Every structure is written in structure tokens, then in C-alpha cells.
Structure 1
Amino acid sequence: MENNCGNSRIAGCSFSVHPMADDFVDYIKASLREVDSSKVWMKTDDVTTTVRGRMEHVFDVTEAILLHIAKTGVHVAFQGTFSIGCPGDSSGDVHMDESEERLNKPQSKNIEQRVAAKFSLYPMGGGDYMDTIYRQIQAMKEKGVEVTPAHYSTRLDGDTSDIFTGLEDVFRETEASGSSHTVMTVTVSANSPSHKDDRS
């Protein structure tokens, strides 16, 4: 395998969703059926689901999968690793010529769902990114997202749409700032029975 990324700039996310219910498999399968994944390469195994393609479609699909489970009211956790510029990531290029239209956004934008999230960003291979990160965090605050520091991460509390938009913006702008390989880890909790201010 060649240790380069080519010019396609394939983005991807390897993620798991965990509905806290006895019939968790049904929740996951129903969500995967409801979400339009035709603009991404997607594969599910016994550990994770991986989606790859244009950045906007990767975020569109992962947000929609989380929302379709969360809208049922069940407590659900999402853990994902987003990546772009991974050396050797060359298959799946066929999805890079898709249009910018997000197939799941018309449904997702109508689902109001507060979540708590934590993310960590790892720019690799250079780039002037710290000012970019701070600007995007400020933009999230202006959208009504509560931003607080946490050990090894940044915590976000707010509406799912605002948080995923902010996460995509900071991911996209970090890459644009010159990071040749960018990784972002994200953990999201929806409908948790815990008090929202209990951050222990």
C-alpha cells in the first residue's frame, strides 16, 4: 500500500452507536434503514460502522443515524473517529464526485434533540490550526452551544444540529489550515437520565 492520500481527500468516520435498551439491535437496524447512505461508502461489522466519502456527506449520515435513534427517546451514546488525509486511504473514490446536496438534512433539521458531547482534535502533518479551532469554538458559542473545557477534550451541550455543524466546521477549517491528516474523536450522549449538570 502506498503511503499517500492522492488528491481525493476522502473523509471518513468509524463509529458505534449504543442504545441503552434490551432491543438495541432493532434500534440500530431501524436507524440504518431510515438513513440515506447512497452518497457514501458504508460498511458495518460486529464492532463499528464505517462511512467514507465527501466530508459533508460523512457528517450528514452520522448525524442522521444518531438522530433517528435519539428521537425515539431512548438513551443512546455515539462514539466516532473522524479522519481525513489518512495515508493509504484510496478505495471508495467513486463517491467523491457526488453533489454537495445532503440527502438527510431535510429530515434531520426538523428533529430537535439536545445532546451532550465531547470532542478532541488531532491535526497531524503541520498547519496553523490553533486560531482556527478557537474561532470555530467561538462560532459554536454564538449558535447557543455551551462550550466548557474537560480533561483531554472540549465539552459541548446544545442542539444536535448546532453541535454537528460546529464539529464539521472545526474539522473542515483545521484541514484547510494546512493539516495534511486530521483526526477528531467525538462522544455524544442523548436522552441521558443523568442530570445535565452532572459532569463527573
Structure 2
Amino acid sequence: MLLQMINASTPQETAWLLGPYAYLIIPVPFSLETSWALVSNPDLERLSMVELAMEYEPRQEIWWQVSQKHLDAFQQVLETIYRRNLLVWLWEEQSDHMRSLYGDGVELKIFIDDMIGKIRNWGFATHEQQSRCLAALLPVIAAKAPAEEERRILSVAEKDPDAALRQLESLALRRKPA
């Protein structure tokens, strides 16, 4: 994730981040085989090791501040991790329904992406709300069952997502075969 932050930084911000370090070697995320990126400190890359050692002086003032663009660089990575974890969790918790979808030829990663988009549009903003909503809807989706009650609940979910989740989960429990 550090590489994404550095890629989102200006040369001056990279220099501030690296501080007294002339170079930083970090792993490249999601590479099939471990590969490494060499990041140079723009302020120090022209100096030799001896010059670096002689010129080093710790800064007394705050020298690095995380900005919104740095946080935004992490968002894509965090979202990828969330969706992967959600897929694994659904396989563990609702394997029958996931097998049913998979057996119908549904590309599960695309299914998760599409459903998260819909769930966000219904007003479920947090990852926890999205996960709970998908878990409550999965049995109906997998069974291709009519979902009139779910549609009614989802139509007003934006006003009170937590109440809608409780209703969806209660409905899913009532429909669960004994």
C-alpha cells in the first residue's frame, strides 16, 4: 500500500516521506512473484553515501502530513481486499447458495461487484451493512424466489439502513428451511 501512496505523491511529498533515506525498496503489491520497487528520494538521490551520512540532520518540525489524495490511493486496495474477503466469507457461511449460483454459471466476482453497487444504491454505506445485506439476500437470489418483501424493505432502506437490515435478516431466518 505504501507504493500506491508514493505514486499518488508529488516529488516533494516523496522526499518528505522518505526523510533522511535516499532510497526505499518495497514489495510491489499483487505481483505473482515477489517483485520490488526502488523508490528514490528526489532530494537525496544525487548524493553519495558519504555525503548522505555527513549531511544527515534530523528534522525538528513535522515533516509529513497525510492528505486526502494519499488516503484515496489506498481506497482501491482496501476495496479489493474487502470484496475478496466477502467472497471467502460467503463461501464459508452460505456455501449451498454460492454453489447454486456458481452452478448456474454466474461469475461470482462480477456478481459480488454488481451486488455491492446495488446495495450501496439502496443506502447501505458501510462494509458491515453491505455484507449483512448481501448475506440476507443471497438465499432469495440463489433460489430465484420472488422477493416482494425484500423489494419493499429495500425501497425504504435509505431512510434507516439498520432497521432495513434487521428486517431483511429476520425475513431470511423465517425463510430458512428447518
Higher relative contact order (CA 8 A, sep 6+): 1
One fold, TM greater than 0.5?
no
Bigger proportion of residues as helix: 2
TM-score, length-normalised on structure 2?
Answer: 0.22
Pick the structure with more strand per residue: 1
Instruction: Give the TM-score taking structure 1 as reference length.
Output: 0.20
